[in-house]
Structure 1
């Protein structure tokens, strides 16, 4: 298929439809408004249904209902809107209902700003609702990856019967890039014989529920979910290693920030500093294994559009073997390649000074 120029938010919508999504429930909030706008125009053309709900809470519960009937369904919002959806997301996780939730992140906390941010890392990867649950989280760095990851998210959601998230900072939602819509990679999916589609007098009714009043039964359910999450951790990790083979300082970043970091790496290498990048494509499961493959690294620098959240996973990954530094710009500010390179040079110079002192 030939490439076409699309805005990120519209590409999200088209990718969902190409992946078989026929139901969308949402509520407007900047900077993701083009997603519901696109779905409102395009879903009826494929006999799909778009509903602008009265609130984010209503939207996620409509998603719960459609998912419970076995439909491919999606919702999208931006940071404070996703916060409102967290109760419904944990309900869907508890009831094992597949759906896709897109978060086009903006600055926070609270209403914050409408500028791009990455401050929803904790909310996305730790589970913003109650209880023992996790959601797979994809983090695209380009509009093409936005397309590919939305398509894959539907497959992952159905394969594991779980809500699946795609998180993109606002820049990805608003930028325009050439993309192509290839046939999504299909998984061997089981029939949705658990769905509430009516018995037709042929079987007992299916029950979609996340309420378990007997603690022994709930314990078994939670252990079943945990076993599923272990399988996701084992099978669904994705990451990119960029110039890490000889890197003495390894930067860690995701999303748009990783693209800025790549420019900083070119600056550093032109000045003789061997720098590389680990880019998580899945924020959960986090690519801990990638940190076992940086043989020449002497230090790490985590770069985020926040005050520092992914850095905790980086620290867990490296297990104290190397120092972990941080550079962040919160509130909707994006770091520049020059400031990232300057931070990395300072770290390298301090290391050399310590080495010389010894």
Structure 2
């Protein structure tokens, strides 16, 4: 397939169009504003619509309305914008509506800064919305992967009738890389007549579809949450994604890192290997569901003496890594926040210090 040099935000936007999404609602916020700029021009060319709302709160309920009608729709924002959408995300989960969110993260808390960060890990995988609310979360490590994940995100959202988030950072959104787009034919959403508000003429029977998240009967609400929990467990069984690097032989330290930070770690692994220090890298591609078993199996190998979680935040993923590893091996964290990106040399230095501080005999 031919490749074209594109900025990450624009590649994400084009991939959404090619996935058959003709409905985009958003409010501008850096470092993802180019998605809206691109779609303002691109969507009318294919009969689609970009509607800029007056706020992120309005955006998420536009998304709710479109999804409730069975339309393929998505939005994009950055950290504080996603925070404003969190109530609506919970409503989407509760009503079991498919929608796609793109979060090109910036530093925080508060307004923070517009430089790259991974400081929304906890928000995405633990606190996307109130109640027992979960989103499926994908973390791309390149512009190509971000584009590929957009098609996957719509398919997953519709398969599970649940919001899906593509969680990138400022580097993913702003850097330019060669990208090719999958040859794909937009497939209509399956079985939407069973739940969407498409009108009585669109389905058999006389019972109208009601899109809601309100369940006043405690027994019904409990059962509803049990059904959602079963859906999340099915996601974990069927959709878990991760990648191992340099794990064919023995390794002394296991690095765990996601997104663009994992690319820095990959370079650090190569640098250490050239010096005779064997280190492996496990990259979670799905942050929810999280590859706990895979991390546990990689850490329990006798050659592995320590695990290091490397992140562009203050250690948000490290607790999940610790839970995965248990007490079998020591787990530590290294990272930076606010827009500073740890260099391969810095990561390699932390690994060497970890080895020096431990008895590896």
Question: Could you tell me how far 1:204 is from its partner in structure 2?
Answer: 2.6
Q: Provide the C-alpha distance between the structure 2 equivalents of 1:319 and 1:187, rounded to a whole number of angstroms.
A: 43
- Equivalent in the alignment of 1:287: 291
Number of paired residues?
354
Partner residue of 2:348? 341
How far the C-alpha of 1:12 sits from its partner, in A, is: 0.4
CA shift for structure 1 position 183: 3.0
Choose which of 301, 314, 318 in structure 1 pairs with 2:321. Answer: 314
128-137 or 117-126: bigger deviation: 128-137
Deviation of the 1:188 alpha carbon: 11
TM-score of the two chains, using structure 1 as the length reference: 0.96
- In the other structure, the counterpart of 2:231 is 228
Q: The residue matched to 2:192 in structure 1 has which SS?
A: coil
Residue 272 (structure 1) shift: 1.3
Q: What displacement does 1:247 show?
A: 1.5
Q: TM-score, normalised by structure 2?
A: 0.95
Q: Distance in 2 between matches of 1:248 and 1:185?
A: 46
For 1:281-338, what per-residue CA distance to the aligned partner results, in whole angstroms no more than 9, with x for missing partners? 1101111122213522110111000000110110011111110111110112110111
Q: Please give the per-residue CA displacement for 1:244-302, whole angstroms capped at 9, x wherever unaligned.
A: 23211111111110011111111211221111100011101111122213522110111
Could you tell me which residue of structure 2 aligns to residue 211 of structure 1? Answer: 214
Q: Distance in 2 between matches of 1:304 and 1:293?
A: 19
What is the alpha-carbon distance in structure 1 between the residues aligned to residue 123 and residue 57 of structure 2?
A: 16
Provide the C-alpha distance between the structure 2 equivalents of 1:269 and 1:200, rounded to a whole number of angstroms.
64
Please state whether the residue corresponding to 1:196 is helix, strand or coil: coil
Q: Give the Å deviation of 1:179.
A: 0.7
Q: Distance in 2 between matches of 1:165 and 1:230?
A: 17
Q: Distance in 2 between matches of 1:14 and 1:95?
A: 28
Q: How does 1:1-358 map to 2 (within 5 A)?
A: 1-184=1-184, 190-193=190-193, 194-200=195-201, 203-245=206-248, 246-291=250-295, 292-294=297-299, 295=301, 296-352=303-359
Q: Secondary structure in 1 aligned to 2:164?
A: strand
Give me the CA root mean square deviation.
1.6
Cα gap change, 1:336/1:17 in structure 2, threshold over 3 Å: closer, same or farther? same
Tell me if structure 2 keeps the 8 A contact 1:133–1:226. no
Cα deviation 1:171-227 (Å, max 9, x = unaligned): 010000011111359999631011111213963321000011111111111111111
* Structure 2 residue matching 1:293: 3-state secondary structure: helix
Q: CA deviation at 1:14?
A: 0.5
Quick check: 1:99–1:157 contact (8 Å CA) kept in 2?
yes
Equivalent-residue separation in structure 2 for 1:334 and 1:293 (angstroms)? 26
Query: For the structure 1 residues 283 and 328, does the alpha-carbon distance in structure 2 shift closer, same or farther, using more than 3 Å as the test?
Result: same
Q: Which 5+ residue runs of structure 2 have no aligned equivalent?
A: none
The one-character-per-residue Cα deviations of 1:109-155 (angstroms, maximum 9, x if unpaired) are: 01000000001000000133110121110000000000111110000
CA separation in 2, counterparts of 1:316 and 1:187?
Answer: 39
Q: Contact (CA 8 Å) 2:10, 2:38: kept in 1 or not?
A: yes
Instruction: Give distance in 1, aligned partners of 2:171 and 2:110.
Output: 20
Q: Is the 8 A contact 1:261 1:340 kept in 2?
A: yes
Distance 1:155 1:268 in 2: 39
Structure 1: which 5+ runs fail to align? none
CA contact (8 A) 1:152 1:185 kept: no
Mapped contact 1:127–1:135 kept (Cα < 8 A): no
CA contact (8 A) 1:152 1:184 kept: no
